[in-house]
């Protein structure tokens, strides 16, 4: 049964302060599947901004350290955060990387509610970021279209899908992938046990090298907040590619999307994606078949 059919039970679990991901895993044969992650994040939307407000010193140190690493990579004109959430990292980070708003900036998350909070949050930093909903494994952007693609503990719940996640990021990146994810190799025995219990990703650099990717950095990151979930920095350099324009494509057919009468439409596939509160909703399950859309929306 779809977990969306269990929504009232999930609301109760959330209201009682119980571990929602544990409940959802129990209804997914022990796995952190995409639907479980989306439901969990959507219910928690709004809480991350409150938490960020209480941890400004940490966020300042964390973003300073990230800026230091990204500035070593040379010139770039576009950047994207995967799993942007409420833009609590991206907004202050871009203020340091791009104070004049000259970069092309993207961020996506699987949860519409989180992205909507992120849109409001980023506006308080005067940052112009194109936020949208999407699936990590079906990113609605062309190959080699974003100079720097980065994550911050957003691949985290996808243990067992490391290769699929890396392949997806590598496809859309044109220069570098910067990963700030759980440091399994550098963690304590207690931290490793916790990561395993929660289904976190592990050993991303090892998986990347097995895929033939050029891993130029792989080490424990100096700034983290939870000793049971330390951060590891992995940087992958993209090689042998032709850069493409960053524009939305249909995640199903990978054909161009055009914004027509406020929604996103693929003439080739006939699939229509809604735009809700100026947030493009580009998950496959958010599409509807509308092969005659142009007839009524010229």
> Is the pLDDT reported for residue 187 higher than 80?
yes
Fold of 55-237: Rossmann fold (3.40.50)
Domain boundaries, the chain: 3-49, 55-237, 258-296
> Is the pLDDT reported for residue 34 higher than 50?
yes
What's residue 1's pLDDT? 44
The percentage of the chain sitting over the pLDDT mark of 70, rounded to a whole number, equals 88
- Which 3-state string (H, E, C) describes 1-51? CCHHHHHHHHHHHHHCCCCHHHHHHHCCCCCCCHHHHHHHHHHHCCHHHHH
Average pLDDT for 274-292: 96
What's residue 124's pLDDT? 92
Average pLDDT for 7-29: 66
241 pLDDT band, cuts 50/70/90, is: confident
Give the Cβ contact number of residue 286 at 10 Å: 19
The percentage of the chain sitting over the pLDDT mark of 90, rounded to a whole number, equals 81
What's residue 149's pLDDT? 98
Average pLDDT for 66-95: 97
Are 152 and 90 spatial neighbours (Cβ–Cβ below 8 Å)?
A: no
Task: Look up the pTM and report it.
Answer: 0.89
Q: Which residue has the higher pLDDT, 30 or 285?
A: 285
> Is the pLDDT reported for residue 161 higher than 70?
yes
- What's the pLDDT tens digit per position in 188-202? 999 999 999 999 999
User: What average pLDDT is seen over the chain?
Assistant: 91
44 pLDDT band, cuts 50/70/90, is: confident
Average pLDDT for 131-157: 97
> Is the pLDDT reported for residue 28 higher than 90?
no
The token pair at 11 is 């609301």
216 pLDDT band, cuts 50/70/90, is: very high
Element at 149 (helix H, strand E) = strand 146-152
> Is the pLDDT reported for residue 211 higher than 60?
yes
What's residue 200's pLDDT? 96
Element at 175 (helix H, strand E) = strand 173-182
Q: Which residue shows structure tokens 């289904």?
A: 199
The token pair at 224 is 């983290």
Give me the DSSP letters along 43-111.
HHTTHHHHHHHH-HHHHHHHHHHHHHHHGGG---SEEEEET-TTSTTHHHHHHHH-TT--SEEEEEES-
> Is the pLDDT reported for residue 140 higher than 60?
yes
Average pLDDT for 162-174: 98
Average pLDDT for 41-46: 78
């Amino acid at each position: 049964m779809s977990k969306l059919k269990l929504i009232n039970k999930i609301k109760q679990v959330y209201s009682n302060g119980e571990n929602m991901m544990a409940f959802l895993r129990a209804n997914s044969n022990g796995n952190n599947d995409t639907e479980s992650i989306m439901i969990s994040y959507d219910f928690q939307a709004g809480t991350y901004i409150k938490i960020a407000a209480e941890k400004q010193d940490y966020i300042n140190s964390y973003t300073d350290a990230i800026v230091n690493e990204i500035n070593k990579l040379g010139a770039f004109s576009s950047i994207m955060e995967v799993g942007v959430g409420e833009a609590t990292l991206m907004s202050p980070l871009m203020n340091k990387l791009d104070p004049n708003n000259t970069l092309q900036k993207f961020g996506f998350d699987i949860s519409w509610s989180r992205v909507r909070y992120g849109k409001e949050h980023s506006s308080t930093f005067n940052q112009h970021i194109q936020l949208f909903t999407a699936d990590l494994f079906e990113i609605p952007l062309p190959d080699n279209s974003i100079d720097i693609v980065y994550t911050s503990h957003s691949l985290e719940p996808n243990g067992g899908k490391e290769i699929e996640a890396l392949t997806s990021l590598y496809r859309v990146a044109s220069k570098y992938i910067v990963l700030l994810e759980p440091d399994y190799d550098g963690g304590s025995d207690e931290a490793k046990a916790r990561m395993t219990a929660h289904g976190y990703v592990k050993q991303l650099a090892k998986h990347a090298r097995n895929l033939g990717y050029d891993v130029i950095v792989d080490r424990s990151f100096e700034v983290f907040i939870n000793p049971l979930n330390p951060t590891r920095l992995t940087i992958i350099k993209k090689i042998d590619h032709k850069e493409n324009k960053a524009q939305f494509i249909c995640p199903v057919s990978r054909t161009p999307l055009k914004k027509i009468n406020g929604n996103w439409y693929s003439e080739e596939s006939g699939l229509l994606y809604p735009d809700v509160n100026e947030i493009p909703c580009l998950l496959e399950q958010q599409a509807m078949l509308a092969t005659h859309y142009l007839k009524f929306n010229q």
